[in-house]
Chains A and B, each alone.
Chain A
Amino acid sequence: MSQDKMLVLFYLTLIFILVPKITYISHNGNKNTVEVPVGLTVMEGALQNNIEGIDADCGGSMACATCHVYVPENWFSKLEKMQDAEQDMLDMAYEPKKNSRLSCQIIISDQLDGLEVTTPIKQT
């Protein structure tokens, strides 16, 4: 095998092995870092890892606002832009701020490896 091919294979393997790590910070500062596979949402990552602070009552249909998180500014700008419907739903969230997002609408990609989100004091 040529060296080029080996390199490609090496990177491909890396991509498959490296699962993005997402850090969930509770309102009182407890940090929880877990691996969330590409393609899942930040909300699903929380539910699958039993992380408290995200309720997700509607199951991700953008019909409630109980998976609300705050995203630090350096990450906020890297996320895909919000749809109007998400912005509208955030109006109904508990204490929404400028950096609020619904975690069911943040889909994990390799670029989001290292993402930190903070959960509000409560969701309802």
Chain B
Amino acid sequence: MIKTDAIIVGAGPTGLFTVHQLGIIGLKCEVIDNLDRAGGQCIELYPDKPIYDIPAIPECTGEELTNGLLKQIKPFKAGFHLGQRVEEIKQEDNLWILKTNKGNLFSAPNIIIAGGVGSFEPRKLVLKEAEKFEGSQIFYSVTDKNLFKNKKISIFGGGDSALDWALELSKSNEITLIHRRIEFRGAAHTLSEIKKKEKEGKIIIKTPYNLKSIDGDKTMTGIEIEHENGKLEKIKSDYILSFFGLIMKLGPIADWGLNIDKKLIPVNTENFQTNKEGIFAVGDICVYPGKLKLILSGFHEAALAARACFKRAKPNETYRFEFTTASKNIHERLGLKK
């Protein structure tokens, strides 16, 4: 069990800045995120898209913002627990006990939920019969490419993931690349490589087609795809790889006994506490009159929630407001030389 002052759920920009705000007032924290890297939506949805409304930064990408925040919070040495999701929480006296899906336990007087719109999950195939093959013959990501050798693989999707895996796996497999429209979206180099492989007969491209049905009872033997004009075609397949991006699901947070309004968590604007004492919500996931889903709003919310955590983490100490420019305590916490 890891004991700390606050646990931050979500490693997006708001979660990361929460580490900073806790750090400068002398509180320790641990960060948990379902994704395997920090950055949240900034990294998953728009790593290369410029953001223009971060104060004093005229323009930066989601990736640059994330890297900047990671650098800024480095002195505070927060523990990061990525690739896992908080499954359940319970209260023991004044402490919250959290358990992740990897079985890790945490205990702290404060939880700060900076969960964005929930955790990211791959968008699954629409067909009901896809379920029984998921994990055995149908995959939404590739964790072990050695699984695929001399196999017939149908790959769905028109973006980078679909194209990159089509190329990679075409080295030792028969690939059919299926997309709902004629255009693919990928790096120019990738697109020309795909064309080359198509000419060599290594990749068969089927557009504009959608998945119609899956053949096979216990084992999937093939699929049927439907052209935009209604024409059907059967394709033998040992595996389906489907790359339709990520969706966001609130996930287990919905079962923590918090008030939830349209997938958002209502908070007060004094310290961003939820209906449960010691549980705060900041960033896109919280809602209050006038709420704006801006990164800068998340930063403000983090600053206030962090101060509220102090009282619960150190009930016998008095919190004193200090500026980073002048405070020796803060300079020490930042690891600055005297």
List A residues at the B interface (Cβ < 8 Å).
55, 57-59, 61, 63-66, 84, 87-88, 91-92, 94-96, 98, 124
Contact = CB atoms under 8 A, between A and B. Distances in A.
Contact of B183 (A64, A87, A94): A87
A55 B249 CA distance: 11
Given A58-B117, A84-B185, A91-B157, A63 B45 contact: yes
Contacts of B123: 92, 94, 124
Nearest to B247: A124
A32 to B, nearest CB: 17
Nearest to B284: A59
B181 A57 contact: no
Contact of A88 (B41, B45, B159, B263): B159
Contacts of B263: 55, 57
Contact of B46 (A55, A63, A94, A95): A63
Contacts of A66: 247
Contact of A63 (B41, B159, B180): B41
Interface in B176-234: 179-181, 183, 185, 228
16 contacts: A57-B117, A57-B247, A57-B263, A58-B41, A58-B117, A63-B41, A64-B117, A65-B245, A88-B159, A91-B180, A91-B185, A91-B245, A92-B244, A94-B123, A124-B248, A124-B249
What secondary structure prevails in chain A residues at the interface with B? loop
Interface of B: 41, 45-46, 117, 123, 126, 157-159, 179-181, 183, 185, 228, 244-245, 247-249, 263, 284, 293
Q: Which of B159, B228, B248, B249 has the largest count of A CB atoms less than 10 A from its CB?
A: B248
B159 A91 contact: yes
B294 to A, nearest CB: 10
Contacts, number: 47
A91 B181 CA distance: 8
B228 A64 contact: no
B245 A92 contact: yes
A98 B228 contact: yes
A7 to B, nearest CB: 42
Nearest to A121: B126
B157 to A, nearest CB: 7
Contact of A64 (B45, B179, B181, B185): B45
Q: Which of B181, B183, B247 has the largest count of A CB atoms less than 10 A from its CB?
A: B247
A79 B216 CA distance: 43
A55 B228 CA distance: 27
Contacts of A88: 158-159, 185
A29 B18 CA distance: 45
A94 B45 contact: no
Contacts of B284: 59
B297 to A, nearest CB: 12
Nearest to B183: A87
B158 A91 contact: yes
A57 B248 contact: yes
Contacts of A95: 126
Nearest to B293: A59
A55 B262 CA distance: 9
A92 B157 CA distance: 8
A91 B158 CA distance: 7
Q: Which 9 A-B pairs have the closest CB atoms?
A: A92-B245, A63-B45, A124-B247, A57-B117, A59-B293, A88-B185, A91-B158, A57-B248, A92-B244
A92 B185 CA distance: 12
Nearest to A55: B263
A113 B185 CA distance: 34
B87 to A, nearest CB: 20
Contacts of A57: 117, 247-248, 263
A67 B185 CA distance: 21
A61 B181 CA distance: 23
B156 to A, nearest CB: 10
A94 B181 contact: no
Nearest to A89: B245
Given A87-B183, A94-B126, 4 more contacts: A57-B247, A63-B45, A91-B157, A91-B158
Nearest to A123: B247
Q: Which of B183, B245, B249 has the largest count of A CB atoms less than 10 A from its CB?
A: B245
A96 B180 contact: yes
